[in-house]
A and B are shown apart, each in its own frame.
Chain A
Amino acid sequence: MIIKCPYCGPRDVIEFTYQGDATRKRPDPSSTDQNLWNAYIYDRSNPAKSHREFWLHTGGCRQHLVVTRDMSTHSISSVGFARDSKHAGDQ
């Protein structure tokens, strides 16, 4: 798999660290809703279609990227900096 880092260019997946589902939204820190927190911390979906996920360019610019990847074909449709996508978990 090759991920096109917007800063470093196309790089082999070996340079990256998978950092999890990018569609989750962290609950309001003051929320005491245990179900909400449980879902955020433990529940993960694994859809056989396009999915957004965080990848850290560990061996490169050390930026977290939001990678939109088809989980069944591994084809990547978009890559952007996590910091740029406001509230990465919203979509």
Chain B
Amino acid sequence: MTSSRLPNGGQIERAKSVGFTFDGRAYSGHPGDTLASALLANGVTLFGRSFKYHRPRGLLAAGSDEPNALVTIISGDVREPNVRATELEIFDGLAVQSQNRFPSLEHDLMAVNQLAGSLLSAGFYYKTFMGPAIGPLKSTRFWMFCERFIRRAAGLGKAGIAADPDRYERMNAFCDVLVVGSGPAGLIAAEAAAATGARVIIAEERPVAGGSLLASGEIIDGRNPAVWAREKAEALANLPNVRFLTRTSVWGYYDGNVLTAVQRVSDHKPNRTKGQPRQRHWVIRAGKTILATGAFERPIVFPGNDCPGVMLADAVRRFAVEYGVAAGKNVAFFTNNDSAYDAARTLSLAGIAVTTIVDVRPDVSGACRDIANILGAELLLGSAVTGTHAGKSLSAITVQHFNMTTGRISGAPREIKTDCLGVSGGWSPVIHLASQAGGKPEWDEDLQAFLAPEPNQNWVVTGSAAGYMDTISVLSDAATKGSAKSRLVLPSVEAPMLDSSPAPVFEIEPAGKSQKAFVDFQHDVTASDIRLAYREGFHSVEHLKRYTTLGMATDQGKTSNVPGLAIMADIRGISIPDAGTTRFRAPFTPVSMGAIAGERYGDLRPHRLTPMHDWHISNGAKTYEAGLWHRPMIYGSHGETIEQAYTREARAVREGVGIVDVSTLGKIDIQGPDAAEFLDRVYTNMFSTLPVGKARYGLMLREDGIVFDDGTTWRLGETQFLMTTTTANAGPVMQHLEYYLDCVWPELRVHLTSVTDVWAGAAISGPKSRSVLETCVTGTKVDNTALPFMGIVYGRIADIPVMICRLSFSGELAYEVYSGAGHGTRIWEALIAAGKQFDIVPYGLEALGTLRIEKGHVTGAEIDGRTTAHDLHLGWMLSKKKTYIGSAMINRPGLKDEHRLSLVGLISLDNQSINGGSHIVSDKTPREPADSFGHVTAACYSPALGKYIALALVKHGTSMIGKRAFATDLLRDKHGAVEIVSHHMFDKDGSRMHG
């Protein structure tokens, strides 16, 4: 291959060279090169195979709008697919693969897809694979058969499966003015804004500032425009109130002037500096946003327009001026506007021969004619390119007469030899961010392009993004948009007088059979696909997009949206804005998942530990997670199984005494003159009658009458209560209470404070629990008179103040001892020491669960958001003397239906354990599907009963008591006979806890 590097020019460091590989082959380039420019300099014109047809594709563009040259970066096992070669800066050791080719880019077997072209036309998938099977070749089942072959043939790069080894950072930033883009408009707008003292952030997606100035043939303030831009950018970056971010793509615009950006911190470096992330993700909250995002050149749709060597006119210029690379030796241009003449002029300044300019317009301005004359280029007016000839890349074009008004082609085809065709179909202002912000674009007849709408947030658009296409008006617009009071002295500009309005020509439609004419290069959508969509009834732009996938590739149709719309508008005989617009969505360019996640990966949840956690661990507790909490499951010892351990612990509670950590219960301090009234409204039962120094079990419903939560609430004073909630519902209950106080009953004088983490709690349960307290509590008596059931006393343990309430979840004589969280372990240890002579046993959640299942007490497994108080046999708690949250809805027929599931107990009849979640069925043998009439909510081995038992919610629960059924668990292959019993399976009259 021959080098296409020009002898001089370009903004690259020619003195240094950089080695990299493409498809395993070594190449070299210079610092400042992109992969695209370096490969092009090495004579590479084939960059990839197209999405559906595997057609050979070269470069179309030179920037973030490139649809064809997508590559995969390989780094060890890590693959980063779909990177635009035109944005990828090369470095020593960079390894890149081309995509969507098999077995190699040069010899692609899948190119047979081209022969089966009609098979893969728009709507192919829908027609072939959707719907019922009519004959063997049509159905979703057929799709399932074909999918793996088609997936291999059609697609972009493959993602890797190795873990991403890189580090990413997230940053939040605030500024008065965010300037997106640092071309001539961005630089001047930023300068004007910064002069007012505003805090300015400038985000530039490329490595250097300058935008269009980098490849401009104009002269600014008597200097090379790239040099002028560099100096201006350096001066701005040195200002204390300006932050200049290069390699930073602003990709999203959200409500409240919040914008997101990705900064490629070290993607361009062979070795990352220690501590440096690969990319940094920015969330920028801007007072005002200045969108100086420039414009994308559009291609013209014509037969054979995807041949490697056919490029955008501006891309040809950029490769020459910015990188010193000749995309061709004899370049031709095809245009509908003046900007291609400026590209031709600049190209010739860089030393590249321009042979021909084909223009669809019957006549052009004197300035254009002058340029053609000076370049010695043949000017073919009223003409169009109607075909391309290529081996591996472009060798010639076919030109014919073209009537702009009728769109008709005539005359004999003339073949013109050229190895590069620069195409310009006009310019589309980059309004993606403005569109994301919420505005509907507005069509501009002069520019034949969509412009940003009236701002709906605090943003302005400037420069070519606002439709100003010549440098002088760009600069003066930008100064005003940067600051209305700007007094900047604008630089002088020497430029040819060219007109920015293109002729309204988007497509050269051939008369007969011809080469494919591509609209969307990345998704292989052709002009005939759009016509097909129309014929099949997909007229609206939203239908067109979905039927053909036009504009739905990773480039979101940067180069294809307007030509696609124009073709549909032409078919329908309506104007382009009437055909519709599409709303751009974030991201502007693809963003890696790692950058968005930043350091938030792996286990992100906080871990909540009780004050006694360390004691549990050092005493053999096996813990598990209950919500965010880590709680002891069992205190295992001597090779016990889990069942043996909890059985031992539960038996100790029934026969002697046990101690369990209950610090995780939600605790809410409720104070105020109306606290009692408030509780009467939120609980189903009465709390205003509760004496000071007593606790009461309370039940809360949701407004719709379904049970929400339960717990005990203690009256600590006339106007002070301590509410406890279940561990899981601590947050939701707090939010529920806050809602009613703030939004429904603001007149109630009540204040809520979450004190869950303030108190450490230990429950000691069992017949010997009182003896343990008598041994260690000072300052109060704990006998049945001083501390009756549901009573509260204050005393000291180990000289630390404690609050003790006599209440029971286990059904045994039991107490909850609360102390300041910081004293939790000390109190716990004192209770253990005092209990030693009574053989006190610490117990975990498994034993706690066993004790409550034996007693038929409910928890979250039964309060599942579907059950009523009656379902859970808690109807006795529904006061008839008052209203409360949910009281208006509990009598709805559906909630009183006799077929509802209600709580029962189950006893295993085959002495086998019962699985939680099992269905209750009447079938003797496992069957699928079975008629389920209930399900198991919790199950255990009961040491008190010597049997495997469970709680279940069963249809007609109460009337089923005494009957036999089967608990079936097909997933875990378990099916066993059970007897349905009352949910009170142990100590039905509660004599043990009242004793």
Contact = CB atoms under 8 A, between A and B. Distances in A.
A82 B256 CA distance: 22
B677 interface: no
Nearest to A66: B743
B855 interface: no
Given A56-B738, A62-B738, A26 B889 contact: no
A74 B704 CA distance: 30
B888 A29 contact: yes
Contacts of B438: 73
B735 interface: yes
Given A34-B892, A37-B889, A1 B255 contact: yes
Max count, chain B CB within 10 A of own CB: residue among A22, A29, A81 = A29
Contacts of B735: 17, 56, 58
Given A27-B888, A73-B438, A19 B739 contact: yes
Given A17-B735, A73-B456, A22 B743 contact: yes
A2 B285 contact: yes
Interface in B859-906: 883, 887-889, 892
Nearest to B892: A34
B746 interface: yes
Contacts of A34: 888, 892
B513 to A, nearest CB: 49
A82 B746 contact: yes
A32 B883 CA distance: 11
Contact of B739 (A27, A64, A75): A64
B604 interface: no
A82 to B, nearest CB: 4
Contacts of A46: none
Contacts of A74: 255-256
B120 interface: no
Nearest to B745: A26
B733 to A, nearest CB: 14
Contact of B888 (A2, A32, A63, A81): A32
A2 to B, nearest CB: 4
Contact of B738 (A22, A40, A64): A64
A2 B704 contact: no
Interface residues of B, number: 23
Interface string A17-40: 101001000110111101001001
Contacts of A13: 255-256
B889 A54 contact: no
A19 B743 contact: yes
A56 B75 CA distance: 47
B883 A30 contact: yes
Contacts of A5: none
A32 B887 CA distance: 9
A58 B734 CA distance: 11
A49 interface: no
Contacts of B738: 56, 62, 64
Contacts, number: 64
B743 A86 contact: no
Interface string B673-717: 000000001000000000000000000000110000000000000
Interface in B243-285: 254-256, 258, 285
Given A2-B256, A29-B883, A30-B883, A86 B746 contact: yes
A41 interface: yes
A41 B743 contact: no
A83 interface: yes
Interface in B459-512: none
Interface in A45-83: 54, 56, 58, 62-64, 73-75, 81-83
Given A41-B889, A82-B746, A2 B258 contact: yes
B744 interface: yes
Contacts of B255: 1-2, 13, 74
Contacts of A12: 256, 258, 285
A54 to B, nearest CB: 6
B742 A63 contact: yes
Contacts of B887: 29
Nearest to B887: A29
Contact of A64 (B704, B742, B889): B742
Nearest to B743: A82
A70 B744 CA distance: 23
Contact of B703 (A19, A31, A41, A73): A41
Nearest to A17: B735
A49 to B, nearest CB: 15
Contacts of A82: 742-743, 746
Contacts of A26: 744
A23 to B, nearest CB: 11
B256 A1 contact: yes
Contacts of B254: 1
Nearest to B681: A29
Contacts of B743: 19, 22, 54, 64, 82, 88
Contacts of B285: 2, 12
Nearest to B735: A56
Max count, chain A CB within 10 A of own CB: residue among B438, B703, B883, B888 = B888
Contacts of B456: 73, 75
B670 to A, nearest CB: 15
A2 B746 CA distance: 26
Interface string B631-651: 000000000000000000000
Nearest to A81: B742
Contacts of A29: 681, 883, 887-888
A56 B739 contact: yes
A17 B889 CA distance: 26
A41 B256 contact: no
B746 A37 contact: no
B893 to A, nearest CB: 10
Interface in B738-782: 738-739, 741-744, 746
Nearest to A58: B735
A75 B743 CA distance: 22
Nearest to B884: A29
Nearest to B703: A41
Contacts of A17: 735
A52 B258 CA distance: 23
A86 B887 CA distance: 24
A32 B892 CA distance: 11
A81 B741 CA distance: 12
Contacts of A84: 746
Contacts of A56: 735, 738-739, 742
Nearest to B746: A83
Contacts of B742: 54, 56, 63-64, 81-83
A84 to B, nearest CB: 8
Contacts of A73: 438, 456
A58 B742 CA distance: 13
Contacts of B741: 83
A54 B741 CA distance: 13
A83 B456 CA distance: 31
A54 B739 contact: yes
B739 A41 contact: no
Contacts of B703: 40-41
A53 to B, nearest CB: 11
A65 to B, nearest CB: 9
Interface in B211-266: 254-256, 258
B438 to A, nearest CB: 6
Contacts of A37: 888-889
A31 B888 contact: yes
B520 to A, nearest CB: 31
Nearest to A26: B744
10 contacts: A1-B255, A1-B256, A2-B258, A37-B889, A40-B703, A63-B742, A64-B739, A64-B742, A73-B456, A82-B742
Given A41-B703, A86-B746, 11 more contacts: A12-B258, A13-B256, A19-B743, A29-B883, A29-B887, A37-B889, A63-B742, A74-B256, A83-B741, A83-B742, A83-B746
6 closest Cβ pairs, A-B complex: A64-B742, A2-B256, A29-B883, A1-B255, A83-B746, A82-B742
